[in-house]
Structure 1
Amino acid sequence: MPQDAPPGHPWPIGFRATCVRATLYILLIAALAQGAYYEALYFHEVRFSEHGFTELAQSALLATASALLLYTRQVLRVMPNVTLLIFAFVFSSLIREQDYWLDLWVADHTWKVLVTLVIVPILYWIIRERQRFVEEFAGYANSFSFGLFAAGVLTTYVFSRLYGRSVFWEAVLQEHYVRTFKDAAEEVVELLGYALILIAVIELTLLARRWRSARSD
């Protein structure tokens, strides 16, 4: 087994630690939901826009997840190929969330260039190291973190897009349709998806720490 691959035996999580983490995750999601509520209630001029709480919180979640992935790869040195690929996905999402500011301050479609510069070399590296990637992924695919990550991706990139369609909200609200309803629905569901992705990355980092300890033992 390669040195950077996860150990083959399970490394259980204590019940107390599970309860603490579950409580913290509940508080995180509750804080995000409350922040979106306050944005709708008090900040009418910027609500669900690039200047509002929801959009800024999305960027903060993605930036935190990106930093944790770099820490897991560069410091803990566990699953370097899996964490690199996830980093490419999360960091590209962070860049995509800045499209308004990049178009405003740099040039139109700048985010596409930056995402390409992130994705292409990382995909090349993963293909080159595909054997190690497959070995690492075999251990990660059966983890709680992977399940959460998949749920976050499905929530953000599938459900939020379908749920936030204008035609859906026009059908629901009919003559009372206002674009704000559509924007709120899509952005808040997207916020939940990014929160799930961050929680998945936190779990991945904690899992990597346990695997590192097991490897040392």
Structure 2
Amino acid sequence: MEANFAGIKSGLVRLVIYGALIFGVAEFIRWDAMLVHGQESKFGEDSYTELGQSVLLLIAAGIYISVFARYKQFKALAFFLFSFSTASFIREQDSFLDDHIFDGAWQAGVFSLFAFMVYYLWRHRYQFLHNIALFVHTQAFGVFITGFLTTYVFSRLYGRGKFWQEIMEDRYFRAVKNASEECTELFGYTILAIAAVEFFLFVKRQAKALPTGSSYGKITKPSAATILQ
């Protein structure tokens, strides 16, 4: 009975905290829309909504790298998720990097990070596969998938210019198209940040039940007891 009440309490706390966060994001978007006058200039590359997206990605990346540093049983999965968040952050800086570094700088950064990630995960593939096997059965994974699909699938399709031109016809305003894509994207990044928090909580609970003490072998016949170390 105590466990049931603890679960209910945990769910209510999440509902309140995450609900307040999403409410704050919605108000932040409205505030950003009020700052700029002129339909075509709202929610552009220099908007606070764009900045908010980068901040949320940095928060998620920071959580994942902290898990990487503190919990050796989940280093492989944490590094994968860190790389994903960091690559997304680099992608969000495309205009700045292209203008101030060189054209295509963000692609160079993303592909370099991806190459290193593949190398690292190959060297720790047993741990990574075992981490994934545990992760896919958690609520953190469900939240992550929701954020991923919202950001990288739905927001792209929902924010298509052709779609909004068909809706508004001769009254088309690009700011509406920008708002639909950027605001949905910000919401998706909010969910991904929540997923990072849930991942941290999952790892913190799981690490207590996992064996520790011996160093992780690279790829040589790992036993079940050493895969997660």
Query: TM-score of the superposition, structure 1-length normalised?
Result: 0.89
Q: 1:33 corresponds to which letter in structure 2?
A: A
Q: 2:188 corresponds to which letter in structure 1?
A: G
CA RMSD in angstroms, aligned pairs only: 1.8
Alpha-carbon distance in structure 2 between the residues aligned to 1:44 and 1:183: 14
Alpha-carbon distance in structure 1 between the residues aligned to 2:21 and 2:149: 20
> Structure 1 stretch 20-29 or stretch 171-180: which is displaced more?
20-29
For the structure 1 residues 64 and 79, does the alpha-carbon distance in structure 2 shift closer, same or farther, using more than 3 Å as the test?
same
Q: 2:53 corresponds to which letter in structure 1?
A: Q
Alpha-carbon distance in structure 2 between the residues aligned to 1:129 and 1:184: 41
The answer (yes or no) to whether the contact 2:147–2:191 under 8 Å persists in 1 is yes
Selected match of 1:83 from 78, 82, 88:
78
The answer (yes or no) to whether the contact 2:42–2:178 under 8 Å persists in 1 is no
- Matches of residues 119-134 of structure 1 in structure 2 within 5 Å? 119-134=114-129
Matched, 1:146 2:141: yes
Matched, 1:92 2:87: yes
Aligned to 2:101: 106
Selected match of 1:39 from 9, 23, 32:
32
What's the secondary structure of 1:204's corresponding residue?
helix
What's the secondary structure of 1:214's corresponding residue?
coil
> Structure 1 stretch 21-30 or stretch 181-190: which is displaced more?
21-30
Larger radius of gyration: 2
Aligned residues: 206
- Matches of residues 55-70 of structure 1 in structure 2 within 5 Å? 55-70=50-65
Runs of 4+ in 1 over 6 A off after TM superposition: none
Matched, 1:73 2:73: no
Alpha-carbon distance in structure 1 between the residues aligned to 2:186 and 2:6: 28
Aligned to 2:8: 15
User: Can you list the C-alpha shifts for 1:81-137, whole angstroms capped at 9, x where unaligned?
Assistant: 111111111110000001111112111110001111111011122123222211111
For the structure 1 residues 78 and 132, does the alpha-carbon distance in structure 2 shift closer, same or farther, using more than 3 Å as the test?
closer
* Unmatched 5+ stretches in structure 2: 213-229
For the structure 1 residues 49 and 127, does the alpha-carbon distance in structure 2 shift closer, same or farther, using more than 3 Å as the test?
same
What's the secondary structure of 1:79's corresponding residue?
helix
What's the secondary structure of 1:160's corresponding residue?
helix
Q: 1:101 corresponds to which letter in structure 2?
A: F
Alpha-carbon distance in structure 2 between the residues aligned to 1:75 and 1:127: 21
Deviation of the 1:212 alpha carbon: 2.1
Deviation of the 1:216 alpha carbon: 7.5
Alpha-carbon distance in structure 2 between the residues aligned to 1:40 and 1:61: 19
Aligned to 1:214: 209
Aligned to 1:5: none
Matched, 1:26 2:19: yes
Deviation of the 1:15 alpha carbon: 2.3
Matched, 1:194 2:183: no
% identical equivalent positions:
34
Aligned to 1:4: none
Matched, 1:185 2:218: no
The answer (yes or no) to whether the contact 2:83–2:114 under 8 Å persists in 1 is yes
Aligned to 2:163: 168
> Structure 1 stretch 96-105 or stretch 206-215: which is displaced more?
206-215
Q: 2:36 corresponds to which letter in structure 1?
A: F
Query: TM-score of the superposition, structure 2-length normalised?
Result: 0.85
Alpha-carbon distance in structure 2 between the residues aligned to 1:126 and 1:137: 12
